[in-house]
């Protein structure tokens, strides 16, 4: 038996791994709910691909034909799901992805026979 | 410039990669909507971790305190999202994951500096 990584939430072991408990499934479903919106996916894409690893909310808002409060709402949902983090510097908030969270999601969909290939 | 894999839907390039178009974002949001339910995540987990790579609907239904039609509905949503496929053999339908789809989702969350580590 492999040693357990106590820093890894049970929620994000591979789907091909041990049984997902009810609480972990509920938590994970919430993360996917945050991802189940096209605008939020495009925002996450813009933040993940931004130069220097961070995107100014001023640039994100300008890319959509949506109001600033609507973009702020979507960013808040992504932030509450732990997918992005924001830091205010002067007038603007700058967002970056939370790499640990994205890496865990990547691992969730890894299949063992493919991972060992 | 790398050669483009024309078999790969643009929807599932890494989030840290090129801009996600509106259509691709909408398609991908639909996949995450299918994943945004705890019962569906547990079903997908059971199918992905099943011995011999497939799970009988008879075993899946027995694992939840839900009616067979409810489980069937959730399986249909996962199937329509392209995450699982089913085959009827005799009385029962047997489900397995669609590895290409899961691998694309895994790649979506891969971050370049981590992938090269």
CA B32 – CA A77 distance, rounded (Å): 15
Band the pLDDT of B111: cuts 50, 70, 90. Answer: confident
Closest C-alpha among A65, A68, A45, A82 to residue B24: A45
Per CATH, which fold does B22-107 belong to?
A: Arc Repressor Mutant, subunit A (1.10.10)
Of B30, B42, B110, the CB nearest to A20: B42
Distance from CA of B12 to the nearest CA of A (A): 11
Closest residue in A to B33 (Cα) is A36
Closest residue in A to B14 (Cα) is A45
Partnered with residue B88 across adjacent β-strands are B93
CA B117 – CA B112 distance, rounded (Å): 9
DSSP A77: H
CA A59 – CA B8 distance, rounded (Å): 29
CA B104 – CA A45 distance, rounded (Å): 15
The average confidence (pLDDT) of chain A is 88
**Residue A3: its pLDDT value, please?**
47
**A68-80 and A38-48 are packed helices; what angle lies between their axes, rounded to 10 degrees?**
80
Query: Which residue of B18, B24, B27, B36 to mutate against A (max A Cβ within 10 Å)?
Result: B36
Whether B15 shows a pLDDT value over 50: the answer reads yes
Task: Find out whether B22 and A38 touch, Cβ atoms under 8 Å.
Answer: yes
This prediction has a pTM of 0.87
Band the pLDDT of B114: cuts 50, 70, 90. Answer: low
ipTM of the complex: 0.87
Q: Where are the domains of chain B?
A: 22-107
Which chain B residues touch A35 with a CB distance below 8 Å? Answer: 29, 32, 36
Which chain A residues touch B18 with a CB distance below 8 Å? Answer: 49
Tell whether A41 lies on the interface with B, counting CB pairs under 8 A: yes
Tell whether A20 lies on the interface with B, counting CB pairs under 8 A: yes
Band the pLDDT of B5: cuts 50, 70, 90. Answer: very low
**For the stretch A6-44, what's the b/e string if a residue is b when 16 or more beta carbons lie within 10 angstroms of its beta carbon?**
eeeeebbbbbbbeebeeebbbbbbbbbbbbbbbbbbbbb
Whether A11 shows a pLDDT value over 60: the answer reads no
């Amino acid at each position: 038996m492999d040693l357990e990584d106590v820093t890894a939430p049970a929620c994000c072991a591979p789907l091909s791994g041990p049984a997902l408990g009810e609480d972990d499934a509920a938590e994970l479903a919430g993360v996917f709910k945050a991802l189940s919106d096209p605008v939020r996916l495009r925002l996450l894409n813009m933040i993940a691909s931004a130069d220097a690893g961070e995107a100014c909310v001023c640039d994100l808002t300008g890319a959509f034909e949506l109001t600033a409060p609507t973009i702020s709402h979507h960013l808040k949902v992504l932030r509450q799901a732990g997918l992005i983090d924001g830091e205010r510097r002067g007038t603007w908030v700058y967002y970056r992805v939370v790499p640990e969270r994205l890496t865990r999601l990547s691992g969730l969909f890894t299949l063992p026979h493919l991972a060992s290939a």
